[in-house]
């Protein structure tokens, strides 16, 4: 069934997409580009759906679904108190793991076989690999997967390999791949280092007031770029086990020159800066360069976590291991051994023998969301499993400075990270949600909880950016320069404030009685100013406008804006306009690129339906037809064991460029929505906004 078009004929956005002449645009979720036709909105469920016609049956169905989902989620808790769902991304994680092992000479038959089995299983019929379920084939991902399978022994003449190679050539071959892919190929001589952007290790010496210092980059990019400055300076080449002529459009000219952009453009200016850096490489003082690489190595080692990883994410760990290896660190060195062992912990071994690599792991995030879902679903606040979850979260609070303190040197620590081990990079979003989770539990040591919450609230307030909003990891990480670098073509490399993170902080502050604090009011005003013309909000860390809107509305109402506020009414109308005919909500990742065509549109999913319902319930729409239909869809698509199916990716790493399927999202967000439908809004009867009545809040911010 089709989604309904917005009442105004389509959203008006700050950003638009230019479709190139001759580009075929369809609106399917089978891997085509998709833009001109209205998207089909088939359910993500494997079974046909019959929505109960009688409204009287919906509350009972919701209560039954809530009980089953509660039992399912409680059964998934680890004995230590945490929850963690698998985190699916794309096969570049698996391909680069095999390339790393080949480069270091530590490949083994079992790992290679299992990784290849997974990579083959993700290939599409046209020979390509996508970056998200149902998405279009992606060139760099397909190249890396192809090379990994060659390393695993797949013949280039095999039908699945021939299809991949033909598609790669049709898209420009290796020469059209992103920089990161060509770096991996350069490690084996399949690409020339001279034809890659220069990344000098002397960057480590740039003070924070100089543009393009390492702290101008988002923390995930910073942790990747620093080790890559060493790799770029060393330019290693391992003997290639085979040629890759079949991936070039013209094997006689595998490295065709790239045209320069006009000198007066930003791209042209940075391309010429890169040429100057290539020239500098030839005359760089050896002593300075050696000292810079050693300083970069110290920076890397100082940020290795207790589990041996870097930043809790796989890509920086991979490049850090390579960089240190190139500087002479033996594989048996404690730093190297711990780093390699940490990479093995990203592996998920499946029942069929395939091995999938997670880009990172999400126990803190999953645990706080699961705690919120269970509490809102009616689990008693002193339930032993909620108390155990609280104990675990309390033990995960970070009480030492990290990279964030470069811009906030006097701010006491107190945040939470996303992963098991990531003390250098707590994040504002996790901290807000952990506080909201802890506040729902009656702990046997309330003084300990209050102190932890106080530290978290203080840290989040101190991480507010100057525009009144919050980014994910850093303050005012908004420099325009990093995204202009020729090197940075792999996705988002800065961490500007976003509506979803800001909303979660505002909601937390409201629950903590700070709804009328001037800092909270600035955050609310920023959110009102950031609303799109159609009534939605952009979602930075979840897909997309449904996620942003589902985050903001509960925050605004928690902070005291009445449900009659114009911004809230516009958001309600938008959500109603994009509800699928089956009653659910869904949004395809293509909305990040083709806004007008895909905003709020796609196959219904459990997590996105949960987000939409959470917003509508917070907006006072419990008895509306839209809520009734959405709740009925969740109840009808629930599996017998209390879970939901969700193959679609609804999490965002980098908008469009790196997408995530958080396997626990399909459980926690539907349960949260159902729980609030059955039991009412959380904190409605015991608001902590003690500094002023909630009804007074709208007077302190401008209308929208």
Q: Is 659 helix (H, G, I), strand (E, B) or coil?
A: strand
CA pair distance 614, 622, nearest whole angstrom:
10
Distant-in-sequence, close-in-space partners of 115: CB < 8 Å, separation ≥ 6: 94, 97, 98, 148, 152, 354, 355, 357
309 is written with which tokens? 């990883």
- Distance, C-alpha 218 to centroid of its chain: 13
Give bridge partners of residue 87 from the DSSP assignment.
662
Distant-in-sequence, close-in-space partners of 662: CB < 8 Å, separation ≥ 6: 85, 87, 362, 365, 366, 607, 650, 651
**Residue 476 and residue 407 in contact, taking contact as beta carbons nearer than 8 Å:** yes
DSSP string for residues in 127-189: S--BSSTT--B-HHHHHHHHHHHHHTT--TTSHHHHHHHHHHHHTT-GGGS-HHHHHHHHTTT
Give bridge partners of residue 620 from the DSSP assignment.
none
106-110: Cβ within 8 A, 24+ apart:
106/331, 106/340, 107/151
Give bridge partners of residue 313 from the DSSP assignment.
360
CA pair distance 684, 353, nearest whole angstrom:
49
> In the 3-class helix/strand/coil scheme, how is 345-388 assigned residue by residue?
CCEEECCCCCEEECCECCHHHHHHHHHHHHHHCCCCCCCHHHHH
Pick the closest to residue 386 from 372, 371, 376 (CA basis): 371
Distant-in-sequence, close-in-space partners of 119: CB < 8 Å, separation ≥ 6: 91, 94, 95, 129, 145, 148, 149, 152
Give bridge partners of residue 166 from the DSSP assignment.
none
Pick the closest to residue 415 from 437, 393, 430, 436 (CA basis): 430
> In the 3-class helix/strand/coil scheme, how is 386-437 assigned residue by residue?
HHHHHHHHHHCCCCCCCHHHHCCCCCCCCCECCCCCCCCCCEHHHHHHHHHH
Pick the closest to residue 575 from 1, 2, 11 (CA basis): 11
CA pair distance 586, 543, nearest whole angstrom:
9
Active site residue 429: yes
- Of the candidates 429, 474, 500, 534, the residue annotated as catalytic is 429
**For the purposes of burial, counting CB atoms within 10 Å of the CB of 42, is it exposed (0-12), middle (13-18) or buried (19 or more)?**
middle
106 is written with which tokens? 């530590």
- φ and ψ at residue 102, rounded to 5 degrees: -65, -45
CA pair distance 258, 271, nearest whole angstrom:
10
Give bridge partners of residue 662 from the DSSP assignment.
87
**For the purposes of burial, counting CB atoms within 10 Å of the CB of 638, is it exposed (0-12), middle (13-18) or buried (19 or more)?**
buried
**Residue 251 and residue 175 in contact, taking contact as beta carbons nearer than 8 Å:** no
**CA 303 vs CA 186, 300, 482, 495: distances in Å:** 27, 5, 22, 19
CA pair distance 106, 331, nearest whole angstrom:
10
Please identify every residue annotated as catalytic: 429
């Amino acid at each position: 069934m089709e989604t309904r078009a917005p009442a105004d004929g389509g959203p008006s956005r700050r950003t638009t997409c230019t479709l190139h002449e001759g580009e075929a645009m369809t609106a399917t979720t089978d891997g085509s580009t998709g833009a001109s036709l209205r998207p089909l909105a088939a359910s993500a469920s494997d079974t046909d759906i019959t929505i109960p016609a009688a409204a009287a049956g919906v509350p009972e169905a919701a209560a039954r679904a809530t009980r089953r989902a509660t039992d399912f989620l409680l059964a998934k808790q680890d004995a230590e108190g945490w929850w963690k769902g698998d985190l699916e991304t794309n096969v570049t994680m698996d391909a680069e793991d095999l390339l790393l092992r080949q480069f270091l000479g530590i490949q083994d038959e079992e790992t290679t076989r299992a990784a290849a089995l997974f990579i083959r299983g993700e290939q599409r019929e046209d020979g390509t690999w996508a970056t998200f379920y149902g998405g279009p084939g992606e060139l760099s991902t397909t190249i890396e997967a192809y090379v990994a399978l060659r390393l695993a022994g797949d013949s280039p003449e095999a039908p699945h390999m021939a299809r991949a190679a033909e598609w790669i050539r049709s898209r420009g071959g290796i020469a059209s791949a992103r920089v990161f892919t060509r770096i991996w190929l350069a490690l084996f001589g399949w690409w020339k280092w001279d034809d890659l952007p220069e990344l000098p290790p002397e960057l480590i010496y740039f003070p924070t007031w100089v543009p393009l210092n390492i702290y101008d980059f988002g923390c995930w990019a910073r942790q990747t770029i620093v080790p890559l400055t060493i790799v770029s300076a060393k330019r290693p080449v391992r003997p290639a086990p085979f040629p890759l002529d079949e991936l070039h459009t013209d094997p006689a000219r595998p490295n065709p020159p790239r045209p320069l952009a006009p000198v007066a453009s930003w791209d042209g200016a940075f391309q010429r800066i890169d040429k100057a850096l290539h020239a500098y490489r030839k005359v760089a003082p050896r002593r300075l360069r050696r000292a810079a690489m050693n300083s970069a190595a110290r920076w890397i080692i100082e940020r290795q976590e207790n589990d041996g990883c870097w930043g809790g994410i796989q890509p920086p760990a991979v490049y850090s291991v390579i960089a240190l290896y190139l500087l002479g660190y033996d594989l048996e060195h404690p730093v190297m051994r711990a780093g390699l062992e940490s990479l093995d912990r990203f592996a998920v071994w499946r029942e069929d023998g395939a091995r999938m690599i997670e880009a990172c792991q999400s126990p803190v995030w999953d645990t706080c969301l699961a705690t919120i879902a269970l509490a809102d679903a009616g689990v008693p606040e002193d339930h032993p499993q909620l108390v155990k979850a609280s104990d675990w979260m309390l033990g995960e609070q970070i009480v030492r400075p990290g990279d964030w303190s470069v811009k906030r040197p006097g701010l006491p620590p107190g945040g939470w990270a996303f992963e098991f081990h990531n003390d250098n990079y707590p994040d504002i979003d996790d901290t807000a949600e952990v506080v909201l989770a802890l506040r729902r539990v009656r702990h046997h040591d309330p003084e300990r909880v209050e102190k932890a919450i106080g530290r978290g609230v203080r840290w989040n307030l101190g991480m507010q950016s100057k525009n009144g909003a919050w980014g994910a990891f850093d303050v005012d990480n908004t420099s325009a320069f990093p995204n202009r670098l020729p090197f940075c073509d792999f996705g988002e490399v800065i961490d500007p404030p976003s509506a979803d993170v800001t909303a979660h902080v505002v909601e937390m502050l409201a629950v903590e009685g700070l709804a009328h604090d001037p800092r909270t009011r600035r955050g609310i005003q920023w959110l009102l100013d950031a609303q799109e013309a159609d009534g939605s909000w952009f979602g930075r860390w979840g897909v997309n406008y449904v996620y942003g809107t589902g985050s903001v509305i509960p925050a605004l109402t928690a902070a005291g804006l009445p449900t009659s506020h114009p911004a809230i009414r516009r958001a309600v109308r938008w959500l109603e306009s994009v509800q699928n005919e089956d009653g659910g909500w869904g949004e395809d990742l293509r909305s990040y690129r083709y806004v007008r065509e895909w905003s709020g549109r796609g196959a219904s999913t459990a997590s996105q339906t949960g987000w939409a319902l959470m917003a509508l319930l917070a907006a006072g729409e419990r008895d509306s037809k839209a809520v009734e239909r959405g709740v009925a869809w969740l109840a009808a698509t629930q599996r017998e064991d209390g879970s939901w199916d969700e193959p679609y990716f609804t999490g965002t790493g980098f908008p469009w460029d790196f997408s995530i399927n958080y396997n626990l999202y399909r459980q926690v967000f539907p349960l949260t929505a159902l729980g609030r439908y059955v039991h009412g809004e959380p904190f409605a009867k015991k608001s902590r906004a003690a500094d002023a009545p909630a009804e007074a809040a709208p007077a302190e911010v401008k209308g929208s």
